[in-house]
């Protein structure tokens, strides 16, 4: 009898984590690899947040906490949603998990029955389809066009909806493209969802604070009359450079939050007490840090986009958020270069030029690759020179 479950066989390990691991191994073997695969800010967690954690340890906040978040953290989240998104939630409408990833996983485990469909616009964050599969659901991938800035259109959304649709996922700004939906675009998509009353909306706002547009950020629950069907997920990982602390959260209908609590009570019990104390300071303390770091990210984005567009065979849109770009390498695939796929492209790039990026097919849109520019300008400069000479060697 095979020890591994059938549902686990349907999924693969996270390809972005795999690339990061491969780069780490090559570096350990003495290769001068520049890793542009990781989805985490290179900045350190701000000191006021670290100090809050140290204080919590000293004060003995080292025990189990309430299953889905301490009252102090839930209050800080309620305040954040009200002030930044004009969303009013009560304590029973908030859940805290071990990273946004766990909140999403809990949500699918709590709500999906066999065969329930989840609409996932592609390119997508690598974990969505596999989480849906693990929970017994069916990912319904909807490919978005580069000409639409990789964004879902109302027509495509309408076409993807079936009687079995349970959730639709929105991720703005997006991983892997960095594209964000405007208020007008969200309104148009909402019209379709308002008509389809059974569908729930999962808004993944994890990159909310890494945005370069002057335009204000909008999340779907705030605009349309859809709050009673929307789970608005966010977290401290990206905004506050706290990936290792593992705190994510969501606001949503009581019934779903309660079901998520049930899943969590039988899995992790609660997110780390110390990390929760740190997250309270992240949300309640100074927010100055967000602006200065976004400015730095913007400088890097501008440099990376303009460098890539100078390379023959590469085309790169200018995204307005997150810390990723998703250039096309289609013109470099084919008989002439002997590279058949984006996966071959990124493998050769790593092998010949020591730059680690992730193939677009991992995100559901082949012919592209993802670069994370959450690394120093110095490394980015070297990486761009290497990518250029690699691509020129193919032409």
List beta partners, residue 221: none
Of 23-31, 44-52, 235-243, 304-312: span binding ligand PLP (CB under 6 A): 235-243
Site string for ligand PLP, 88-107 (x = CB under 6 A): -----------xxx------
Q: In 3D, which of 261, 180, 194 has the Cα closest to residue 224?
A: 194
Smallest distance from the beta carbon of 101 to ligand PLP, in angstroms? 3
Closer to ligand PLP by CB, 125 or 289: give it: 125
- Indicate the residue among 122 and 206 with the shorter CB distance to ligand PLP: 206
Question: Side-chain half-sphere of 223: how many Cα atoms within 13 Å?
Answer: 20
* Residue 120 or 332 having the CB closest to ligand PLP: 120
CA–CA separation, 249 and 260 (whole Å):
11
Q: Where are the alpha helices (DSSP H) in the chain?
A: 6-9, 15-28, 47-58, 71-85, 100-111, 127-134, 154-160, 183-195, 220-223, 254-265, 273-284, 288-309, 342-353, 377-394
**Between 67 and 339, CB nearer to ligand PLP:** 67
Under rule CB under 6 A, residue 248 binds ligand PLP: yes
Which residues inside 196-215 make contact with ligand PLP, applying CB under 6 A?
A: 204, 206
Least distance in angstroms from the C-beta of 264 to ligand PLP: 14
The site that binds ligand PLP (CB under 6 A) totals a number of residues, namely 13
**Residues 21, 48, 243, 284: which binds ligand PLP (CB under 6 A)?**
243
| Neighbouring residues of 384: CB distance < 8 A, sequence distance ≥ 6 | 303, 304, 307, 308
Our CB check for ligand PLP shows the closer of 235 and 252 to be 235
Do 100 and 279 meet the contact criterion of CB atoms below 8 Å apart? no
> In this structure, what DSSP letter does residue 328 have?
B
In terms of Cα–Cα distance, which of 8, 82, 76, 34 is closest to 282? 76
Residue nearest to ligand PLP (CB): 99
Which residues between 111 and 140 bind ligand PLP (CB under 6 A)?
125
Q: Which of residues 159-188 bind ligand PLP (CB under 6 A)?
A: 171, 175
Do the Cβ atoms of 167 and 201 come closer than 8 Å? yes
> By C-beta, is 99 or 139 nearer to ligand PLP?
99
Residues that bind ligand PLP (CB under 6 A): 39, 99-101, 125, 171, 175, 204, 206, 235, 237, 243, 248
């Amino acid at each position: 009898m095979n020890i591994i479950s059938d549902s686990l066989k349907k999924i693969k390990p996270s390809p972005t984590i795999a690339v990061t691991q491969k780069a780490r191994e090559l570096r350990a073997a003495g290769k001068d690899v520049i890793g542009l695969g990781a989805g985490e800010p290179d900045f350190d967690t701000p000191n006021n947040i670290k100090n809050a954690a140290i204080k919590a340890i000293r004060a003995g906040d080292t025990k189990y906490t309430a299953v889905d978040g301490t009252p102090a953290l839930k209050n800080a989240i309620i305040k954040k949603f009200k002030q930044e998104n004009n969303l009013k939630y009560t304590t029973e409408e908030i859940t805290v998990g071990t990273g946004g990833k766990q909140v999403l996983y809990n949500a699918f485990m709590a709500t999906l029955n066999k065969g329930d469909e989840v609409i996932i616009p592609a390119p997508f964050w690598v974990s969505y389809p596999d989480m849906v599969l693990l929970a017994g659901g069916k990912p319904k991938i909807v490919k978005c066009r580069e000409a639409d800035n990789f964004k879902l259109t109302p027509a495509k959304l309408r076409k993807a909806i079936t009687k079995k649709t349970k959730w639709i996922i929105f991720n703005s700004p997006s991983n892997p493209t960095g594209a964000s939906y405007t208020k007008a675009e969200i309104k148009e998509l909402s019209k379709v969802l308002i008509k389809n009353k059974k569908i729930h909306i999962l808004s993944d706002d994890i990159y909310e604070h890494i945005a370069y547009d002057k335009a204000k950020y909008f999340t779907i629950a705030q605009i349309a009359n859809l709050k009673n069907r929307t789970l608005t997920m966010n977290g401290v990982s990206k905004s506050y450079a706290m990936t290792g602390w593992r705190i994510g959260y969501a606001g949503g209908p009581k019934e779903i939050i309660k079901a998520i609590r049930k899943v969590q009570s039988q899995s992790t019990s609660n997110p780390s007490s110390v990390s929760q104390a740190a997250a309270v300071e992240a949300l309640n303390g100074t927010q100055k840090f967000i602006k200065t770091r976004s400015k730095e990210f913007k400088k890097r984005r501008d440099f990376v986009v303009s460098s890539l567009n100078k390379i023959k065979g590469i085309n790169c849109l200018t995204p307005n958020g997150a810390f990723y770009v998703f250039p096309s390498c289609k013109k470099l695939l084919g008989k002439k270069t002997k590279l058949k796929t984006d996966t071959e492209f990124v493998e050769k790039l790593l092998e010949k030029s020591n730059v680690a990026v992730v193939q677009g097919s991992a995100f559901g849109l082949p012919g592209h690759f993802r670069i994370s520019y959450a690394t120093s300008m110095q490394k980015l400069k070297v990486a761009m020179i290497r990518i250029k000479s690699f691509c020129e060697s193919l032409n």
